[in-house]
Structure 1
């Protein structure tokens, strides 16, 4: 398979290479060499490890590594030096002992040393991806699953080796077949996220990774099973996987599970379970869970209605930057529900929400206030135009009246917004829309200039295409900074004769000369 798995693997590369402590005995996949098994000192060291006496562990491994020279002792001593157990961290010394173990073909030592070369641990060796790739290849070919997985990441990223998607896939497969959970998850992503992937294989590997407790795999499997009308849809099983991920501490799963119990989606509504899971996610800092708790207390359906609690949770979500919570809290301040009415705070929250992913919600609310005259004296009318347009598109009748009044007052931003709205919503008002766009364009409104140019180029203004006039307006809009105008001007210019281009450029110069004499106008977007 040659499909690139870069989006998934790049995200896990850093965490996969992070050096983390593991139980001394559990990390060794292979049995220790016979000579190590027969050493009573090693048995005592393992007993000390199990009771947490790492000073004894460190001292004992040092003696064994120096006196016996066994690869197992060298590897274990190198690892405890990296982890800093029983004494200071010593990654440089660890590298020396791991190199000695590697010389004796100890696969796990090669893998750990490779991680050291990739991790740039303070005090350790300089990062050397090429050397790491050599070490991982050595361990991977001997069957070390962790080495196979990490080597796949290097091939995927072209780090220390030439990028090779076939090698990436093959090493992932080798690791996955040894039940390496992250490799299984990566294989699932390749199959499920590429056009040439095998969906059945993707689901199989996703189930394998989820079954080994990979929380991200569990929630992705749950989402897949929860999607309606697919060959694998099974909402009951999806709920089980959401629960497994939630119980392992996955915050998104906790929020989703709590929301299910809140809304009764696929389960019987249960206020205690809703509070349990949403509360855990909120405690972990999940703004979505906080906002959902705000909604739960405001709606008063599964939970008792408590507007004070609703405002509290919306406020916490807003503090975490969630736009929809800002909008909900702003409404409460606007109406004095659950909080003391404070219009200034409401407007400030709506305005702050404009900069979030939920800015569209805030624009509608601010447009509603502007259309009702409640922002008069607070916000310049031309700034409010896009908000009022959003409110109009959301069905606010006052917004249309407000835009019409501003357009009649020769506000170019209002003329532009109203003209574009009429074009999108009512073919019968095309002539009126074109007239509004012409007026706004002539007054220097860039969006109107761009829209008018498009109409003229296509002949959608009620006549035949007019390339000269269209090029003129694209040229003017480009000068005013419209991001798409330069490209459209070039495309149109390729369809025009030299004479037409000269006419269009002369017309643009004439417009700029007239505009300079006219002085500044409102303009705006």
Structure 2
């Protein structure tokens, strides 16, 4: 589990070195000081507060250092430790921050204990080793004394079983304790637990109530989910106006999914007016935060799909960045643009488009398959892609009614291309032509295709397109299983229970004869399974009975 510290921790913790002056901050009172303590009046906390208000953090740091060192009270130690941790008025010094926060926590300051727990959960460069159990101990002390932040963090640790045993009911109790003190994050967690019945009874009405409280208290994630609730209806009556109000509040609070969705709405129009400037503004924010989908939508906006002026160069940059993150829709759009070209920004490049279509297919964009199949059927992929690789694409194209794809598949099957024979068999099965499917599967099975052997065995077991024959089914399933087809092994077991032992032995004898013939045949030569006249392989090897 990872916890956020103030932004300054990650900014300054990597700075190399600390000046000699600041290296003396944790020294004993009087060390390294050029003037006697009696000559320097002790600062008051009110003076330090005034320096803070003016932004004079150098004076804040010096004043807190003296108070912590000379008075030694827990509050001064906490404030000083926090200043060191945040890098106010000087470099970040996590080691000294740890020292002073520990002293403050030992003195009973619950804010120091809570902040120190975050340090032990965060792996800050230059800081202590991550120790969830120690963090949990610090939070337990602070939570027991009513600190809402400690209660919330302890709830997260308990919910995830980090540093403490996992206990959903205990986690809910800590979340509830913090939520009742108006902690927005805890209110969201209470809502989440009630909506799932996790650690407490399921109560969707109470979940919505706590979600609303969290949203009203400024929790951006809660605002986003409340917007979803008003948009979809169900737990609350649908209210597009309220949905947009909460979505905008969440986006303005910096919640990435809300920014992306708000930009998408302004891109498409509908619930909200199409607005190119707003679409690009919000999608740009989400894209800068690393959202691949926002980059993709921003690319569409710059293509002019938001109704605004097109900027092809910006569009390509956004789409390429999204595709570089593995975003399939962006890759597919780039493939289309590479195929046709884009204004003055991209010349048509067919080979690049094919590579991008294949990448899009690997990124779960199935619509790329029929397009590739259509290209293959028209001969556009000749010399770029081997025919056996194109078979599944052509099958997908044939499924859309592409007659060229159907003809290509039949031609390759006629040439004896095994993947095409199997694909044609499945194509014919889908169109209620089992006899033709069986012939395609038989030819591929005799050529050693395990999938075809399984399909043919299954058809023999059902009597689909062939005369039902459990012995032949068992034999083909046995061969397929020997080639590693798990489904064939499972079905073979079922068929084995349906035939007498002596017939099963006969089926196994057929398999031995089949494998012996395969061993003698030239590679690629069809080998028939003995036992049925229609199984003979014309021009091939006929095993001896």
Residues 297 and 65 (structure 1), Cα distance of their counterparts in 2 relative to 1, 3 Å cut: closer
Q: Any stretches of 5+ residues in structure 2 without a counterpart?
A: 10-41, 527-545
Correspondent of 1:447 among 451, 469, 473: 451
Contact 1:411/1:522 (CA < 8 Å) preserved in 2? no
Work out the CA distance in 2 between the residues paired with 1:300 and 1:125.
51
| Pair 1:349–1:42, CA change in 2 (3 A) | same
Q: Does 1:221 align with 2:226?
A: yes
Query: Relative CO higher for 1 or 2, CA cutoff 8 Å, sep ≥ 6?
Result: 1
Q: Is 1:370 the equivalent of 2:349?
A: no
User: Which secondary structure does the structure 2 equivalent of 1:321 belong to?
Assistant: coil
| Structure 2 residue 384 is the aligned partner of structure 1 residue 381 | no
Q: TM-score, normalised by structure 2?
A: 0.78
Q: 1:377 to 1:354 in 2, by over 3 A?
A: same
Match status 1:351 vs 2:351 = no
Bigger radius of gyration: 2
- Aligned equivalent of 1:421, options 416, 420, 427: 427
Superposition RMSD on alpha carbons, in Å?
3.5
- Equivalent residues in 2 for 1:69-468, closer than 5 Å: 69-193=72-196, 197-227=202-232, 231-282=236-287, 284-296=289-301, 302-303=307-308, 314-315=319-320, 317-336=322-341, 338=343, 339-358=346-365, 360-423=366-429, 425-427=430-432, 429-455=433-459, 466=470
Checking the alignment, whether the CA contact within 8 Å between 2:276 and 2:306 is kept in structure 1 is: no
Which region of structure 1 is more displaced relative to structure 2, 279-288 or 377-386?
279-288
C-alpha spacing 1:222/1:512, structure 2 compared with 1 (3 Å): farther
TM-score by length of 1: 0.81
Q: Quick check: 2:204–2:235 contact (8 Å CA) kept in 1? A: no
> For 1:143 and 1:465, how far apart are their aligned partners in 2?
77
CA distance in 2 between counterparts of 1:454 and 1:214 reads 58
How many aligned residue pairs are there? 490
- Displacement after TM superposition at 1:381 (Å): 0.6
CA distance in 1, matches of 2:447, 2:229: 52
CA contact (8 A) 1:477 1:485 kept: yes
Counterpart Cα distance in 2 of 1:57 and 1:316: 44
Conserved? CA contact 1:189–1:202, under 8 Å: yes
SS at the partner of 1:378? Answer: coil
Range 308-317 or range 229-238, more displaced:
308-317
> CA offset at residue 445 of structure 1?
2.5
Question: For 1:511 and 1:283, how far apart are their aligned partners in 2?
Answer: 63
Q: Say whether the 8 Å CA contact 1:412–1:522 is kept in structure 2.
A: no
Q: Which of 54, 59, 66 in structure 2 is aligned with 1:56?
A: 59
Bigger CA drift: 379-388 or 238-247? 238-247
Task: Describe the superposition over 1:237-285 as per-residue Cα deviations: whole angstroms up to 9, x where unpaired.
Answer: 2222222222233343333223323332212333443343334444555
CA distance in 2, matches of 1:310, 1:96: 52
**Secondary structure, aligned partner of 1:86:** coil
- CA drift of 1:455 comes to 4.7
1:140-167: CA deviation from partner (whole Å, max 9, x where unpaired): 1111111111111221222222211111
1:495–1:273 CA distance, 2 compared to 1 (3 A)? farther
Q: 1:168 to 1:413 in 2, by over 3 A?
A: same
The offset of 1:139, in angstroms, is 0.8
